[in-house]
């Protein structure tokens, strides 16, 4: 029988101070936190409607697109993935999915649930795709949609997209890009590269709490959506209805998460104030410094050279070192959170994120000092000071861009 006793009233929740240097969520700018504390208005209030319009314009800037159908889905980055797939795929449609990590694999699962005839091509974890692999796969089995991850969060791979988009179009396919970890961290030129559909998340390089999924659909993708012969599998993620809520007629679809939309708008304002070029440069500089410091700690970088993300670095765990023990100590002694490996890399790599507001020189040097101390205390011959010096040398060569 369920208890009818009145539970004790717990004290207010007070989260500990953390330095979020994992694969997400990232540290949130104080202005974004303050935005979430502002009073609620209704989701059809004229003030909120105006905020939605501003958010769409800011998203178009960050995506580098003029796409009309650019908006924020109510849900996390995985909701963005599902939105993109279920709106483009009808039962029986063939979808080619490029899998070189966990999130490419997740796209396969989502597409299969939507009824797609999925063809998956694979690369080992840590490696990027050669465009010719996509060309050969499409020659063998033409597809309606090509799905690929620009920034694979599980491996730190940075996948070039421009040539692959061209190949997809040459074979009559749409290209769908996962930019969850890419958006505002590395260049993403939706219009210039002719990317048909993109989804992302708020909790990575936008430095906003998780809870919204920015998406953009270009003309070809919108044409495919409007030509559907069947209803979109998901009522909640059906863009034929959601676009009317974000459009001029403000057709009621669902109650948007008001405070999250406040936060996203503020996060996007900060991106625009810094400027995309400067923001990308800041991520690139911090990534180079971190990777130089890790190399000075004698840690191997697990991702293919030349295809490493600056905002998400995977370092191999030295033989004999307990992955979880190190991460627990980093959290307990320094308040630093990093991520462990996923899939075949579980227990074999550490994933270190320098995303958005977290991509700053003090975070790089703090982490290298803390990790080096952990490894030295476990008996490895580690030069902690040398690692910090290697990172600082990178920063000294090019002044760190100012953080807004």
Each residue's pLDDT, cut to its tens digit, for the chain (404 residues) gives 666 788 888 899 999 999 999 999 999 999 999 999 999 999 889 999 999 999 999 999 999 999 999 999 999 999 999 999 999 999 999 999 999 999 999 999 999 999 999 999 999 999 999 999 999 999 999 999 999 999 999 999 999 999 999 999 999 999 999 999 999 999 999 999 999 999 999 999 999 999 999 999 999 999 999 999 999 999 999 999 999 888 777 788 898 999 999 999 999 999 999 999 999 999 999 999 999 999 999 999 999 999 999 999 999 999 999 999 999 999 999 999 999 999 999 999 999 999 999 999 999 999 999 999 999 999 999 899 999 999 999 999 976 556 66
Per the structure block, which two tokens stand in for 49?
Answer: 């409607």
Buried b (16+ CB within 10 A) or exposed e, 179-195: bbbbbbbbebebeebbb
CA distance 110 to 85: 7
Q: Which CATH number fits domain 30-273: 3.20.20.105, 1.10.3720.10, 3.30.1300.10, 3.40.640.10?
A: 3.40.640.10
β-pairing verdict for 174-178 and 145-149: parallel
Cα torsion angle, 268, 272, 273, 278, sign: positive
Q: How many angstroms separate the first and last alpha carbons of the chain?
A: 55
pLDDT of residue 7: 81
CA distance 96 to 126: 20
pLDDT of residue 1: 60
CA distance 337 to 352: 9
CB hemisphere CA count around 159 (13 angstroms): 30
pLDDT of residue 239: 96
Per the structure block, which two tokens stand in for 51?
Answer: 């905020």
Domain ranges of the chain: 30-273, 275-397
Q: Based on the number of CB atoms within 10 Å of its own CB, is 279 exposed (0-12), middle (13-18) or buried (19 or more)?
A: buried
Q: Based on the number of CB atoms within 10 Å of its own CB, is 16 exposed (0-12), middle (13-18) or buried (19 or more)?
A: exposed
Report CA-CA distances (Å) from 290 to 113, 146, 183, 188, 396: 39, 33, 20, 23, 13
Strand-pairing partners, residue 71, are 215
Nearby residues of 212 by Cβ (< 8 Å), 6 or more positions away: 72, 73, 74, 75, 76, 201, 202, 257, 260, 261, 264
The three-state secondary structure class of 256 is: coil
| CATH class of residue range 275-397 | alpha beta
Q: Determine if the pTM surpasses 0.85.
A: yes
Closest CA to 87 of 225, 226, 179: 225
Report residue 118: phi and psi, to 5°. -90, 130
Q: Based on the number of CB atoms within 10 Å of its own CB, is 278 exposed (0-12), middle (13-18) or buried (19 or more)?
A: middle
Count of residues for the chain?
404
The three-state secondary structure class of 354 is: coil
Task: Kindly state the DSSP code that residue 148 receives in the 8-state scheme.
Answer: E
């Amino acid at each position: 029988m369920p208890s009818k006793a009145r539970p004790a009233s717990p004290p207010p929740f007070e989260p500990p101070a953390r330095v979020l240097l994992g694969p997400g969520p990232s540290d949130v700018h104080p202005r974004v936190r303050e935005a979430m504390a502002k009073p609620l208005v209704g989701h059809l209030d004229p003030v909120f409607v105006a905020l939605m319009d501003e958010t769409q314009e800011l998203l178009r800037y960050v995506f580098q697109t003029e796409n009309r159908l650019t908006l924020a889905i109510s849900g996390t980055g995985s909701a963005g993935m599902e939105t993109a797939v279920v709106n483009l795929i009808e039962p029986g449609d063939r979808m080619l999915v490029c899998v070189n990590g966990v999130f490419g694999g997740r796209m396969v699962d989502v597409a299969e649930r939507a009824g797609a005839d999925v063809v998956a091509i694979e690369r080992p974890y840590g490696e990027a795709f050669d465009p010719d692999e996509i060309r050969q796969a499409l020659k063998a089995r033409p597809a309606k949609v090509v799905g690929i991850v620009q920034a694979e969060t599980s491996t730190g791979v940075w996948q070039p997209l421009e040539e692959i988009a061209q190949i997809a179009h040459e074979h009559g396919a749409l290209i769908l890009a996962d930019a969850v970890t890419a958006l505002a961290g590395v260049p993403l030129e939706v219009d210039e590269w002719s990317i048909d559909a993109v989804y992302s998340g708020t909790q990575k390089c936008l430095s906003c709490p998780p809870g919204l999924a920015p998406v953009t659909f270009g003309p070809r993708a919108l044409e495919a959506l409007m030509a559907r012969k069947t209803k979109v599998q998901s009522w909640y993620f059906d863009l034929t209805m959601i676009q009317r809520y974000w459009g001029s007629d403000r057709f009621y679809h669902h109650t948007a998460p008001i405070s999250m939309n406040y936060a996203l708008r503020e996060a996007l304002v900060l991106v625009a104030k810094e400027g995309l070029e400067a923001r990308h440069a800041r991520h690139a500089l911090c990534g180079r410094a971190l990777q130089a410091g890790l190399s000075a700690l004698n840690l191997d970088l697990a991702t293919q050279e030349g295809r490493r993300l600056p905002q998400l670095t995977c370092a191999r765990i030295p033989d004999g070192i307990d992955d979880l023990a190190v991460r627990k100590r980093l959290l307990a002694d320094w308040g630093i959170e990093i991520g462990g490996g996923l899939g075949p890399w579980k227990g074999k790599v550490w994933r270190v994120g320098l995303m958005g507001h977290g991509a700053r020189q003090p975070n790089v040097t703090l982490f290298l000092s803390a990790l080096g101390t952990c490894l030295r205390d476990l008996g490895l011959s580690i030069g902690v000071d040398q690692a910090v010096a290697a990172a600082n040398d990178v920063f000294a060569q090019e002044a760190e861009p100012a953080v807004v």
